[in-house]
Amino acid sequence: MKNDELFKGFSHDFLRDDKVKESVSFPALSRRLINELIPVKYNDKSSIDYMNFSVQLSASRKFPIFTASNIDGQLLQKAERASTWRKDKRVLKYQWGVELYDARKSDFDKGHMTKREDVQWGKTPGLAKKAADSTFFYTNAVPQHKELNQKIWKSLEDYILNTETRKKSLKICVFTGPVLSTNDPPFVTTVKGEKILLPTIFWKVVIYPKEDGKLYRAGFMMSQKKLLVEDGIIEEMKRAAPGAKEDIFMQFNDAETYQVNISLIEQITDLKMPEAIDSYTDDRSVKLVLNEIEIDPETRSRTMERTTGFSISNIIL
The structural domains of the chain, with segments of one domain joined by +, span 3-306
User: Using omega within 30 degrees of 0 as the cis cutoff, is the peptide bond preceding 248 cis?
Assistant: no
Task: Tell me whether strands 64-72 and 277-278 are parallel, antiparallel or unpaired.
Answer: unpaired
- For the chain, the farthest-separated pair of C-alpha atoms sits apart, in whole angstroms, at 55
Please give the backbone phi and psi of residue 25, each rounded to the nearest 5 degrees, phi first: -80, 170
Q: Are 71 and 171 in contact (CB under 8 A)?
A: yes
Please give the backbone phi and psi of residue 227, each rounded to the nearest 5 degrees, phi first: -70, -40
Task: Tell me whether strands 48-49 and 171-178 are parallel, antiparallel or unpaired.
Answer: unpaired
Alpha-carbon distance values, 131 to 49, 59, 63, 115, 193 (Å)? 11, 25, 20, 11, 35
pTM of the model: 0.87
pLDDT of residue 239: 58
Residue 233: is its pLDDT beyond 90? yes
d(CA 261, CA 221): 10
Q: Are 153 and 257 in contact (CB under 8 A)?
A: yes
Residue 301: is its pLDDT beyond 50? no
Lowest mean pLDDT among 34-38, 160-164, 265-269: 160-164
Residue 131: is its pLDDT beyond 90? yes
Task: Tell me whether strands 48-49 and 53-57 are parallel, antiparallel or unpaired.
Answer: antiparallel
The listed range with the strongest mean pLDDT (3-7, 82-86, 88-92, 146-150) is 88-92
Into which CATH architecture does domain 3-306 fall? 3-Layer(aba) Sandwich (3.40)
